Structure 1
């Protein structure tokens, strides 16, 4: 989304973590509240796949939980942007990447089941969005 905002062509995004679990429902809800179209692709399964897009005229991004080096993620010639404090600490080296950028934030899961739950997830979505806008702004200057 940030590359699109700055008109930077040929940027493909991928995601992955230190373990495969599932795209957290609170994170999905926060993306929806932020205005992203987020539809579940499959009706069953413990690790659902979501189609995410920020414009109607774009192909959706397939979002699901996976380990950082699992398909369809690239194995070489990519930049790794670490947006989780735990992942940043657990992955001091990301094999195959040309650039590693750490933008750590605290996982909002600590707020699960509390009155601050939605606000914490919304704040994380906003923080990551701002940081990615900054990263893509800098990339567009290069």
Structure 2
């Protein structure tokens, strides 16, 4: 793992997650623990409306937390109720926090490779619908990262479990002087919660 990313991780306060938020995260902990206990692959699909901001942050940080805590067989995905594009500020924020992010296809819906270390398998980031062929079709947990997607998608085909873990949209800061700060804060909040989740998993 890149040293700058390790520095970011070591500064996270996942041990200080509040009681109310722990209850929100518990179903995800239970889902992962059950799969680990059964020796099965853990497929997690983080879903938001546009698959442009929060769902990508959750996917990246969950995969990074699984790697950090050496939880085997974890595969993280993301999707939306519609396809747009990964918002450039997300790539910039992840870069600032220690990831290597580079474009592998420069189109209206760019495709990024996101790496936590020089020899680590990259996470492929691009906007897609939750039921894209890129994502698992069955046996996965659908983690709803925004209330709009949670309310707008009452049924996710193939999902073994549906888990609402919603986050405020950093989009509210777009075109304001606070944009960089708000995106960084949201990314770190999501990171802390994903690290809390994986810190609870017993191998």
**Structures share a fold, TM > 0.5?**
yes
Identify the residue that residue 85 of structure 2 maps to in structure 1. Answer: 22
Specify which of 72, 77, 101 is matched with residue 134 of structure 2.
72
- C-alpha deviations, 1:66-108, integer Å up to 9, x for none? 0111121011011122222322222233221122222101111
Matched, 1:59 2:121: yes
> Cα RMSD (Å) of the superposition?
1.5
Structure 1 residue 141: Cα displacement: 2.9
Matched, 1:33 2:93: no
Q: Deviations over 1:19-67 (max 9, x none)?
A: 110000111111111111111111x310000000112111111110001
Q: Which runs of 5+ in 2 are unaligned?
A: 1-63
Q: Which residue of 1 aligns with 2:189?
A: 127
Which of the pair has the greater relative contact order for Cα pairs under 8 Å at 6+ separation?
Answer: 2
Per the normalisation by structure 1, the TM-score is 0.91
Q: Which has the higher helix share?
A: 2
- Corresponding residue to 2:179 among 89, 114, 117: 117
Per-residue deviation, residues 105-130 of structure 1 (Å, max 9, x unmatched): 11111110001111111111111111
Structure 1 runs of 4+ with >4 Å offset: none
TM-score norm. by structure 2 comes to: 0.65
Where in structure 1 are there 5+ consecutive unaligned residues?
A: none
The residue number in structure 1 matching 2:169 is 107
Aligned residues: 140
